[in-house]
Amino acid sequence: MTAPRLMAVHAHPDDESSKGAGTMARYAAQGAEVLVVTCTGGERGDVLNPRLQHDPRAQEDLPALRREEMAAAKAALGVEQVWLGFVDSGLPEGDPLPPLPPGCFALAPLEETSRALVAHLRSFRPHVVLTYDENGGYPHPDHIMTHVVTMAAIEAAADPAAFPELGEPWEVPKVYYHVSFSRDRLLALHEAMGAEGIESPFGDWVARWDGRGSRTVTARIDVHEFFPQRDAALLAHATQIDPDGFFFAVPREIEARVWPWEEFELVRTTLAGQATAAAGAPAVEDLEDDLFAGVTL
The annotated binding site for Zn(2+) is made up of 12, 15, 143
What single-letter DSSP state applies at residue 283? P
Q: How far apart are CA 220 and CA 188, in angstroms?
A: 15
If one counts every other C-beta atom within 10 angstroms of the C-beta of residue 57, the result is 12
Contact 99/118 with Cβ under 8 angstroms? no
What single-letter DSSP state applies at residue 48? -
Q: How far apart are CA 8 and CA 289, in angstroms?
A: 18
DSSP string, 86-140: E-------SSSPPPPPTT-GGGS-HHHHHHHHHHHHHHH--SEEEE--TT-SS--
3-state DSSP: the chain helix, strand, coil percent, rounded to 5? 40, 15, 45
Which residues belong to the annotated binding site?
12, 15, 143
What single-letter DSSP state applies at residue 51? G
Question: What distance separates the 2 farthest-apart alpha carbons in the chain?
Answer: 60
3-state secondary structure of 292: coil
Pairing of strands 128-131, 261-269: unpaired
CA distances from 242 to 130, 143, 153, 154, 238 (A): 26, 21, 34, 35, 7
Amino acid at 76: A
